[in-house]
Amino acid sequence: MTTDIRPKNIDWENLDFSYIKTDYRFISKFKEGKWDEGELTTDNQLHISEGSTALHYGQQCFEGMKAYRTKDGSINLFRPYENARRMKNSCDRLLMAPYPEDKFVEAVKKVVRANEEWVPPYGTGASLYLRPFMIGVGDNVGIKAADEYIFSIFATPVGSYFKGGMKPSNFLVSTYDRAAPRGTGAAKVGGNYAASLLPGKEAKGRSFSDAVYLDPETHTKIEEVGAANFFGITKDDVFVTPKSPSILPSITKYSLLWLAENRLNLKTYEGDVFVKDIDQFKEAGACGTAAVIAPIGGLQVDEAFHVFYSETEVGPVTKRLYNELTGIQFGEIEGPEGWIEKV
């Protein structure tokens, strides 16, 4: 049972990515055209109508972000307004009532402050994962947007998303798609993740960390690595990452793109990444809030297994990107203006 865990009992260094019930979550309701003020609650159960559109038609979306404990004990959020903006885009795509972006960040801070003792200590590598989400609720049955919504944010302390964290692991190019060509791939909506459960299970069943998805239209280009974006470093030191309307625009990926260019002095390219050309890369990785940077050791493409830098060692550019990114998040390195928001 997760409910009995208290911060003093947690082995912070060995946390994985599992749900631990923390003390407070934020909840706000949209009814008759407006959001209420919202409140913190200790109740982690939702009581909703059986006619909720989230239950039948997948009218829901979510975000993923983290709070980081710094050396001086203060707490950092990383680019939270980007999450607020992306959630608005997801809401627009599914005809949901957007939650005001400044209030989103305010509510995230409230949840972190209320759960302060759950923010992992500095130096453990762990962080407090925040999960803002919105669901369509109310008494409905026809396929149409709901009139009522619930917006909530819960927090749970986490460690590595992929087993081993910053250690290389292998991935499998899937024959399935997670999103349709002009569908919802760029929105953070539950349906994309439901579609990824079977391919993810197949990949894990074959001892890979997760599935790599190709572009749904031609199946020739790399798009996503499970619930993370892809990047590769070419032999002549270009940071390359796919661009496609069916990829989730990763805040981590755009941060790495900026860091590669401005801190590591690499050239960068965002465009097509043909799977047939993967031997151009000397290093490759998956990046995201949960994944941070997970180095891709090898990639199984049909019958062929391609190794990037090494199946056991992290490449030097990947390592530098990781140090730069996590250094900023944990407050050890000065980031560009606006990247860190103090709680």
Nearer CB in complex with ligand COI: 195/278: 195
Question: Closest approach of Cβ 282 to ligand COI, in Å?
Answer: 26
User: Would you count residue 157 as binding ligand COI (CB under 6 A)?
Assistant: no
Question: Closest approach of Cβ 128 to ligand PLP, in Å?
Answer: 15
Judged by DSSP in three states, 225 sits in strand
Phi, psi of 319 (to 5 degrees): -65, -45
User: Would you count residue 288 as binding ligand PLP (CB under 6 A)?
Assistant: yes
Task: Please give the residues from 54 up to 93 whose contact with ligand PLP meets the rule CB under 6 A.
Answer: 64
Question: Closest approach of Cβ 291 to ligand COI, in Å?
Answer: 6
Task: Confirm if 244 and 220 have CB atoms less than 8 A apart.
Answer: no
CB under 8 Å to 106, separation ≥6 — which residues? none
**Angle CA 159–170–160, to nearest 5:** 0
Q: Among 90, 192, 255, 289, indicate the residue that binds ligand COI (CB under 6 A).
A: 289
Task: Please give the residues from 246 up to 265 whose contact with ligand PLP meets the rule CB under 6 A.
Answer: 248, 250-253
Nearer CB in complex with ligand PLP: 51/249: 249
Annotate each residue in 53-92 with x if it binds ligand COI (CB under 6 A) or - if it does not, as one string.
Answer: -----------x----------------------------
DSSP letter assigned to residue 100: P
Applying CB under 6 A, which part among 87-95, 207-215, 271-279, 287-295 lies near ligand COI?
287-295
User: Would you count residue 223 as binding ligand PLP (CB under 6 A)?
Assistant: no
Annotate each residue in 151-190 with x if it binds ligand PLP (CB under 6 A) or - if it does not, as one string.
Answer: ----------------------------------------
Residues 125 and 122: their CA atoms lie apart, in Å, by 7
Task: Confirm if 232 and 286 have CB atoms less than 8 A apart.
Answer: no
Q: Among 228, 233, 275, 299, indicate the residue that binds ligand PLP (CB under 6 A).
A: 228
Q: What is the DSSP string of 279-341?
A: GGEEEEEEEETTTEEEEEEEEEETTEEEESS-SSS--HHHHHHHHHHHHHHTTSSPPSTTSEE
Question: Closest approach of Cβ 227 to ligand COI, in Å?
Answer: 4
H or E element, residue 107: helix 101-114
Which does residue 94 touch among ligand COI, ligand PLP, none (CB within 5 to 8 A, set by kind)?
A: none
Catalytic residue among 66, 109, 110, 188: 188
Residues 137 and 145: their CA atoms lie apart, in Å, by 10
Residues 92 and 302: their CA atoms lie apart, in Å, by 37
Question: How many residues touch ligand COI (CB under 6 A)?
Answer: 5
Which does residue 248 touch among ligand PLP, ligand COI, none (CB within 5 to 8 A, set by kind)?
A: ligand PLP
Active site residue 8: no
Residues 106 and 16: their CA atoms lie apart, in Å, by 27
Nearer CB in complex with ligand PLP: 89/280: 89
Structure tokens at 208: 């890979």
Task: Please give the residues from 208 up to 227 whose contact with ligand COI meets the rule CB under 6 A.
Answer: 227
Task: Confirm if 327 and 333 have CB atoms less than 8 A apart.
Answer: yes
H or E element, residue 261: helix 251-262
Residues of this chain that interact with ligand COI (CB under 6 A) are 64, 227, 288-290
Catalytic positions are: 188
Residues of this chain that interact with ligand PLP (CB under 6 A) are 64, 224, 227-229, 248, 250-253, 288-289
